[in-house]
């Protein structure tokens, strides 16, 4: 990559982070909050009473919008759609990622696969709780939550399909047949470029 391209990419990424910060602050103003930021709040808002939990009543009366990581992951995909398209173009693939534990815990976040193949994670559960954007490379996010939760990671169906081809045929043949078998599916070239850039 040429120096000018590196500078352009750096500035674009910086502006993207600023826009995500803006989204986080606006969503907090709109009343979004994390229901399960710690054990006390999880008990108060969900665990013991479900829909009848005291926190849910206060939430309803006050017009607040509480959520856990799965909800913030899903909401986040809609929240970032325009910003991602404006910043990186229509080739970006917006999806989610989940870190699973063999027990009952997991953690989910919004994920963006950029047209150049980079994979970033925007953790809105963490962002809303902390009051600012928490953006990671996919590897940083996986490393962090592997230590906290364990694994394995759940990816999108399109990526699972790609991995099946690669495991059976190898990277070059597998990605070629993947594209040929699904030529009209969205984001195929982005996913192939991403896998070749950083296999998983």
Secondary structure (3-state) at 34: strand
Quick one: pLDDT at residue 2? 63
Confidence of residue 4 (pLDDT cuts 50, 70, 90): confident
pLDDT of 174 higher than 80: yes
Average pLDDT over residues 87-104: 88
Give the separation between CA 163 and CA 178, rounded to whole angstroms.
9
pTM of the model as a whole:
0.86
Give the separation between CA 104 and CA 124, rounded to whole angstroms.
21
Quick one: pLDDT at residue 185? 73
pLDDT, one tens digit per residue, over 30-83 is 999 888 754 444 544 454 444 555 555 555 555 668 889 999 999 999 999 999
Contact (CB, 8 A) for 97 and 154: yes
The two beta strands, 32-34 and 65-67, are: parallel
Quick one: pLDDT at residue 5? 77
Give the separation between CA 96 and CA 37, rounded to whole angstroms.
20
Structure tokens that stand for 56 in this block: 């849910």
Q: What angle do CA 194, 198, 200 make, to 5 degrees?
A: 100
Average pLDDT over residues 79-105: 90
Quick one: pLDDT at residue 103? 61
Secondary structure (3-state) at 144: helix
Structure tokens that stand for 31 in this block: 């009343």
% of the chain exceeding 90 in pLDDT: 66
Q: Which carries the bigger pLDDT value, residue 194 or residue 2?
A: 194
Q: Which carries the bigger pLDDT value, residue 154 or residue 4?
A: 154
Quick one: pLDDT at residue 24? 98
Quick one: pLDDT at residue 36? 77
Give the separation between CA 178 and CA 64, rounded to whole angstroms.
44
Length of the chain counted residue by residue: 200
Structure tokens that stand for 112 in this block: 């963006």
Report the chain's terminal Cα–Cα distance, integer Å: 23
Domain ranges, ordered by start, for the chain: 3-30+68-154, 156-200
Q: Identify the DSSP state of 184.
A: T
Quick one: pLDDT at residue 102? 63
pLDDT of 104 higher than 70: no
Give the separation between CA 30 and CA 126, rounded to whole angstroms.
17
Confidence of residue 159 (pLDDT cuts 50, 70, 90): very high
% of the chain exceeding 70 in pLDDT: 82
Average pLDDT over residues 115-139: 96
Which residues is 107 bridged to in the sheet? 99
Average pLDDT over residues 124-136: 96
């Amino acid at each position: 990559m040429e120096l000018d391209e590196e500078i352009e990419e750096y500035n674009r990424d910086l502006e993207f982070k600023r826009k995500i910060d803006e989204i986080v602050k606006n969503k907090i103003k709109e009343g979004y909050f994390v229901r399960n930021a710690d054990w006390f709040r999880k008990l108060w808002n969900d665990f013991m009473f479900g829909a009848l939990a005291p926190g849910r009543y206060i939430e309803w009366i006050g017009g607040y919008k509480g959520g856990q990581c799965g909800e913030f992951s899903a909401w986040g995909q809609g929240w970032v759609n325009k910003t991602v398209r404006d910043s990186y173009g229509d080739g970006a693939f917006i999806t989610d990622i989940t870190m699973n534990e063999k027990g009952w815990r997991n953690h989910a976040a919004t994920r963006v696969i950029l047209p150049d193949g980079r994979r970033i994670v925007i953790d809105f559960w963490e962002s809303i709780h902390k009051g600012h954007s928490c953006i990671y490379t996919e590897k940083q996010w996986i490393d962090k939550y592997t230590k906290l939760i364990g694994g394995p990671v759940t990816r999108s169906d399109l990526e699972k399909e790609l991995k099946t081809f690669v495991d059976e045929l190898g990277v070059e043949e597998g990605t070629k047949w993947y594209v040929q078998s699904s030529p009209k599916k969205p984001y195929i070239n982005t996913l192939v470029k991403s896998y070749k850039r950083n296999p998983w």
